[in-house]
Amino acid sequence: MKEWWLQVGLLSVPLLAVYLHIPPPKLSPALLSWRSSGGYFTYKDQNIFYRDSTGAVGSSDIVVLLHGFPTSSYDWCKIWEGLTQRFHRVIALDFVGFGFSDKPRPHRYSIFEQASIVEGLVRHLGLHHQRINLLSHDYGDTVAQELLHRSLQPLMLCLLFLEAVCGRCRFHLIAQGCIAPRAVSRLCSTSRQLPLHNNRFLFSILQYINQRKKHRDRWVGALMSTSVPLHLIYGPLDPVNPHPEFLQLYKKVLPMSTVSVLDDHISHYPQLEDPTGFLNAYLNFINSF
């Protein structure tokens, strides 16, 4: 009788072959509408998707939204209209490798490149001499931290973090893609975004975890040394940043930051799970200046 592992291996080969050739799901009407309301700019031969909405009359404030892993700019769909009522410009992009942006392979994906793409978009829109508010989540937090590090010279950025990477880097939690159960179905429905069936592609994208560890001093140092206002919006049920340890560490590392704690049942995607509570917390922070 053949070894059991050989039998499993022989069975797995055709199943894997079928799985790798499953076409991506069709886009929902909501995603089709999201894509049609955006556009593209080119960064080093890569087509980067973005949305740019003109909102509040009489305001000159601009907010740029940086999404998390493994999703896209669609993460902000539930608060988009609310933001346009407060900001003159509301801008979001899909990082390279995500959403409707190009997914080159082979490619060395890095936080540094993503930050440069954000800077490229700001220049493309002619906003590089204006103050930018950054609203970031998950993967986007690290991109925002790199932008903050760079802003010590050319840019003025006001940062808000849904989830502070300084705490995660300290804890070395590896559940980077963890998503609250309530959000899974919604997020998966948007995920033409990341072709997880391609192992090499996924491994390349996931190098940001090692980059966080390697460059912790650079990115956490940027938070600790800045005079830019910082704010954390936190869901206590977040499995990536567990309560209360994460919150205690965050306040210890960044005592100058203000914090909003949402209801006890809110987890890792507060902008989707509690858009009203999230938006109120963010606007209270912005309006305090």
The string of pLDDT tens digits covering residues 152-162 is 433 444 555 55
The pLDDT, as a whole number, for residue 235 is 95
Q: Which residue has the higher pLDDT, 23 or 237?
A: 237
Q: Does any domain span residue 13?
A: no
Segment 163-178 mean pLDDT: 33
The pLDDT, as a whole number, for residue 26 is 87
Count how many domains the chain has.
1
Q: Does any domain span residue 100?
A: yes
The pLDDT, as a whole number, for residue 11 is 60
The answer for residues whose C-beta is within 8 angstroms of residue 1's C-beta and 6 or more apart is none
Confidence of residue 170 (pLDDT cuts 50, 70, 90): very low
Q: Does any domain span residue 4?
A: no
Task: Report the 10 Å Cβ neighbour count for 279.
Answer: 20
CA–CA separation, 145 and 151 (whole Å)? 10
> Is the per-residue pLDDT at 9 higher than 50?
yes
> CATH code at 80?
3.40.50.1820
Segment 42-65 mean pLDDT: 93
> Is the per-residue pLDDT at 167 higher than 60?
no
Confidence of residue 62 (pLDDT cuts 50, 70, 90): very high
Segment 138-164 mean pLDDT: 70
> Is the per-residue pLDDT at 263 higher than 70?
yes
The string of pLDDT tens digits covering residues 92-133 is 999 999 999 999 988 999 999 999 999 999 999 999 888 899
Q: Does any domain span residue 267?
A: yes
Torsion sign, CA atoms 127, 227, 114, 61: negative
Confidence of residue 3 (pLDDT cuts 50, 70, 90): low
CA–CA separation, 4 and 158 (whole Å)? 58
Query: pTM for the whole thing?
Result: 0.81
Q: Which residue has the higher pLDDT, 153 or 273?
A: 273
> Is the per-residue pLDDT at 143 higher than 90?
yes
The pLDDT, as a whole number, for residue 14 is 64
Rounded mean pLDDT of the chain? 81
> Is the per-residue pLDDT at 25 higher than 70?
yes
**Beta strand extents in the chain (DSSP E only):** 39-43, 46-54, 62-66, 89-93, 132-136, 157-161, 231-234, 258-261
Region of residue 126 (left: phi > 0; alpha: psi -120 to 50; beta: else): left
Q: Does any domain span residue 96?
A: yes
| Cβ 223 vs Cβ 173: under 8 Å | no
The pLDDT, as a whole number, for residue 161 is 58
Q: Does any domain span residue 83?
A: yes
Confidence of residue 8 (pLDDT cuts 50, 70, 90): low
Q: Does any domain span residue 239?
A: yes
Tokens describing residue 9: 């291996």
Q: Which residue has the higher pLDDT, 68 or 165?
A: 68
> Is the per-residue pLDDT at 178 higher than 80?
no
Confidence of residue 194 (pLDDT cuts 50, 70, 90): very low
Confidence of residue 22 (pLDDT cuts 50, 70, 90): low
Q: Does any domain span residue 66?
A: yes
Q: Which residue has the higher pLDDT, 283 or 14?
A: 283
Q: Helices 245-253 and 216-225: crossing angle, nearest 10°?
A: 70
The residue range of the domain holding 114 is 27-287
